[in-house]
Amino acid sequence: MKSGLALLALLVALPAAAAEPGELDVQPIAQMMREIWKTQKTDSAKTVQQVWTRTVGFDLPRPFVAGFRAQSIGRFIIEYVPDGETVQAWTRLITVTGTRGAGAARVDDAMLASVLYDARSCPDWRYRDLGATAQPGLPYRTLVIGCGTEGEAGSERGVIAFFRDEEDSWTVQYAARGPASKGLEAGAAAAIARLKPFLTCKTGDKACMDRK
């Protein structure tokens, strides 16, 4: 594992969320990441993305590259897969999302997270809320979702860092399929913490600590 200073030197600043809706070309971003992995001996690169009123950041691990990026009215998404995989056929997936207006719902964070992510999309659906994590920037809740028996073919597990302010909501997500999902639920909090997800503060934020 390289030092934090080495990671900061590899800051990947992605374009801000586009004004016009639709799928956006990720190939320039993917190629930039391939060059980083090719030329730098580092395990991860800090990645930042302007989504609505906040900057979303996390540590992108080797060898992930951007695979899909799109925006619709009130929604933003960018997905990363290991180089050589696709967003249709992946073993591991990292996703950043933004949902405009969701934060204004008059419910607490746990209820809003449940409404948005407790999808019950399979007979053996799994949903767990592991509670809030305080950190510099906006705090987040850790959620676990999934289907199937962990580690078996056809199974999926996802860990979500769910951020919310008085207007909008955002996520940084890590998911794994099949054998790659084994042990993810038990180690969910540590798995998402390794990505070091964060959202920047705004002036007047409550429950938000400035990052040093």
Q: How confident is the model at residue 20 (pLDDT cuts 50, 70, 90)?
A: low
Q: How confident is the model at residue 80 (pLDDT cuts 50, 70, 90)?
A: very high
Task: Please tell me the predicted confidence (pLDDT) of residue 136.
Answer: 85
Mean pLDDT of the chain: 88
Instruction: Report how far residue 210's alpha carbon sits from residue 202's, in angstroms, rounded to the nearest whole number.
Output: 9
Give 165 or 18, the one with higher predicted confidence: 165
CB atoms within 10 A of CB 183: 13
Task: Please tell me the predicted confidence (pLDDT) of residue 99.
Answer: 95
Judged by phi (left if over 0) then psi (alpha if -120 to 50, else beta), residue 56 lies in: beta
Task: Please tell me the predicted confidence (pLDDT) of residue 186.
Answer: 95
> Per-residue b/e over 131-158, b at no fewer than 16 CB within 10 Å?
eeeebebbbbbbbbbbbbebbeeebbbb
Model confidence over 101-123: pLDDT tens digits?
999 999 999 999 999 999 899 99
Contact 57, 138 (CB under 8 A): no
- Residues near 161 by beta carbon (within 8 Å), at least 6 away in sequence: 133, 140, 141, 142, 171, 172, 173, 192, 195, 197
Task: Please tell me the predicted confidence (pLDDT) of residue 208.
Answer: 66
Strand partners for 164: 169
Give 10 or 34, the one with higher predicted confidence: 34
Of 35, 54, 38, 56, the C-alpha closest to 46 is 56
SS3 77: strand
Q: How confident is the model at residue 73 (pLDDT cuts 50, 70, 90)?
A: confident
Instruction: Report how far residue 90's alpha carbon sits from residue 75's, in angstroms, rounded to the nearest whole number.
Output: 23
Of 124, 128, 127, 119, the C-alpha closest to 154 is 124
Task: Please tell me the predicted confidence (pLDDT) of residue 203.
Answer: 67
The answer on pLDDT for 205 being more than 80 is no
The answer on pLDDT for 210 being more than 90 is no
Residue type, 98: G
Domains in the chain, start-ordered, CATH in brackets? 4-199 (3.40.1000)
- Cα–Cα distance list, 174 to 77, 104, 203, 206, 209 (Å): 13, 25, 29, 27, 24
The answer on pLDDT for 211 being more than 70 is no
Give me the mean pLDDT over the 178-193 stretch: 96
Task: Please tell me the predicted confidence (pLDDT) of residue 170.
Answer: 97
Task: Please tell me the predicted confidence (pLDDT) of residue 204.
Answer: 67
Main-chain dihedrals φ then ψ at residue 185, nearest 5 degrees: -65, -45
Q: How confident is the model at residue 202 (pLDDT cuts 50, 70, 90)?
A: confident
